[in-house]
Structure 1
Amino acid sequence: MSGAPAPDLPDALVVFDGACAFCSGWVRLLLRLDREGILRFAPVQSAVGRAACRRSGVDPDDPSTFLFLDRGRAYARSDAFAALLGRLPAPWRAFRGLRHLPRPLRDGLYGVVARNRYRLFGRRDDCMMPSPEVRARFLLDPPQGT
């Protein structure tokens, strides 16, 4: 999937595997890099994460799930990574140019890391819990009344 329409989903939402030590570390890095606070986060294990995946055509039970919602479009795998880099401040934004590499190469590299991330970096028994300072940037439960 490359930029499937997702106009009714939250902008700048990073859906990640909250049980993955690598993914949780990536989220902590993004929290530090995103000084403007535009990014929002949802573990795929949360109601919001699962719903965003299903509505975007991504299997929430696939261990390689990574989804980024960007300006009304849903991106997965290496496309999500490139779109996410484009929302970060300089110099990180420059790396969005990775999207110009052939998709089979990008997705192949992404797949190697995704398939081996638990073995290489570990797995957590529970999802990453955000600190009180950044709790508002994590979307876990759908709004009441929807």
Structure 2
Amino acid sequence: MPDVSKAAYSYRQDAAVPTFDDTKPLFVFDGVCVLCSGGASWLMKYDKRARVNFAPAQEPLGQALYAHYGVIMDESYLLIANGRAYTATSGYLELCKILGGPWHLFRATAILPEGLRDRLYALVARNRYRWFGKAEYCALLTDEQRGRLL
């Protein structure tokens, strides 16, 4: 996985990154991947207090953040929380921490070595189109969910 260990809020000094509301975590996902869009839709459904913002990787904000952190969209989504970027399984663990409540149960997967978790994640990421397919851009989101996109 890419090294996203830049200083917190470093994207604010990057003129290529559009200004966005970073008072909440931002989940940047592949808007044409059925697994990714479906996952974002599912997260929105269960994030009842709207603690997380969302942005498709295909939009200018998503593209700029991927470029800023040197992440390839086909390798991972991005989670920006407290000005820091997370990818792969560490991002999901951070997301569970942010969402709180029963989501904390998923943090038990942290007992597995990060290298093993990320290899499994990478296997799914590489094959996600083949296994789950593609859809029209953000087709799996409801109109209300599309309203939550930055």
TM-score w.r.t. length of structure 2: 0.80
- Cα distance between partner residues in 1 of 2:34 and 2:51: 23
Gaps of 5+ in 1: 140-146
- In structure 2, the partner of 1:137 is 148
- In structure 1, the partner of 2:40 is 27
- Cα distance between partner residues in 2 of 1:16 and 1:113: 14
- Cα distance between partner residues in 2 of 1:134 and 1:121: 21
Gaps of 5+ in 2: 13-19
* 8 Å Cα contact 1:20-1:117 kept in structure 2: yes
SS in 1 for 2:98: coil
- Cα distance between partner residues in 1 of 2:108 and 2:129: 28
Q: Percent identity?
A: 38
> Per the alignment, do residues 104 and 88 of structure 1 end up closer, same or farther by CA in structure 2, a change over 3 Å counting?
same
* 8 Å Cα contact 2:4-2:70 kept in structure 1: no
SS in 2 for 1:42: strand
- In structure 2, the partner of 1:127 is 137
> Which amino acid in structure 1 is aligned with residue 7 of structure 2?
P
- In structure 1, the partner of 2:92 is 81
Q: Deviations over 1:68-123 (max 9, x none)?
A: 01112101111111111211232112312433421111101101111111111111
> Which amino acid in structure 2 is aligned with residue 5 of structure 1?
A
SS in 1 for 2:55: strand
How far 1:65 sits from its partner (Å)?
A: 2.4
SS in 1 for 2:71: coil
Cα RMSD (Å): 1.9
> Per the alignment, do residues 83 and 3 of structure 1 end up closer, same or farther by CA in structure 2, a change over 3 Å counting?
farther
Bigger helix fraction = 2
- In structure 2, the partner of 1:48 is 61
- In structure 2, the partner of 1:14 is 27
SS in 2 for 1:87: helix
- Cα distance between partner residues in 2 of 1:49 and 1:97: 29
